[in-house]
Amino acid sequence: MPETTNSPDTSGICASVTDAIGYAPVVDLSRLTADLDGRILAKLEYLNPGGSKKDLISRAIIDSAEKKGLLQPGQTVLELTSGNTGNGLAMICAVRGYPFIAVMSRGNTPERAAMMRGMGATVVLVDIDDPTHGITADDMKRVEDTAARLTEEHNAFRADQFNRQENAEAHYLHTGPEWLRQTEGNIHAFCDFVGTGGGFAGVARAFKEHNPAIQCYVVEPDGAAKLAGQCISCCAHVIQGGGYAKELPLLNHDHVDGHLSVKDEDVAIVTRRLASEEGIFAGYSSGANVSAARQLLQGDFQGKTIAVTICDSGLKYLSTDLWKSDLDE
């Protein structure tokens, strides 16, 4: 098992906010599992300074690019993003003095764009074909084409989160070992909603090296579970930042023990329950992970311990239906 490095030193003063990234606490979701036999342990990655687990990979990609000479002082950094990696990169670039351009689909929440702009980023929004159909493969290609064009125009360093190994490596070197130390390795299964697949890939690798018996499940939206081999029937799911029904180069399929799909209505209910019962104000992907973990406890993993990630903050979803009530009508 790799040793965790660069964990924040809570006994002193951080040189910058980037040193405060990582080592998120793990919480037992005992209230959400009161009706089940077993435990769900949740790692609160939404408590990172940029509000998501993507802070870690943002720092890792920039650190590596600086070390390898791929990123020069004052050079523009550019990335396509649903918002969380963009938030992380905007934070890192603000501290280190790099101009940052985020290319983002209009299908993602405006809170993320506002956050990036607040940290000095330029945000380029790309139109989508039909908001009622979610972000489709064609929409993603349009974002990718725009990012490629702007990278060339600005002679920018492309963070390229879907392909850079630093993404998965950061979770292998940090998140996975943190989990194992915090739980003393007492985990039976791990389920994770995949965006780039880097978080799943890194944590699953660390888990499998520690104990091959830990079962690792990919979580996808029902109707867009391409990795599970489903026919794609609906891309209009509520979970932003993943479920794009595309292949993920960073994913090591040897570490995938199974696939779980989650329905929008279940995801929304569980996300709200996380807030109202556990006090964890998170986004849809976190609800997807907990909903999938509940499926496992209702099946072959009764009496077992399931690990999940709380991916990002619910503050990034205030404009969605997630937090609306009858009082808002």
Known active-site residue 54: yes
Residue 316 annotated in active site? no
Alpha helices in 228-301 (DSSP H): 264-278, 284-297
Helix pair angle (264-278, 284-297), 10° resolution? 100
Catalytic option among 54, 261, 291, 313: 54
Angle at 223 between CA 221 and CA 224, to 5 degrees: 60
Contact 104, 83 (CB under 8 A): yes
CA 75 to the chain's CA centroid: 26
Whole-angstrom distance, CA of residue 191 vs CA of residue 305: 11
Strands in 106-235 per DSSP E: 122-126, 157-158, 189-193, 215-221
Closest CA to 281 of 51, 95, 110: 51
Do 308 and 280 touch, CB atoms closer than 8 A? no
**Which amino acids are annotated catalytic?**
54, 285
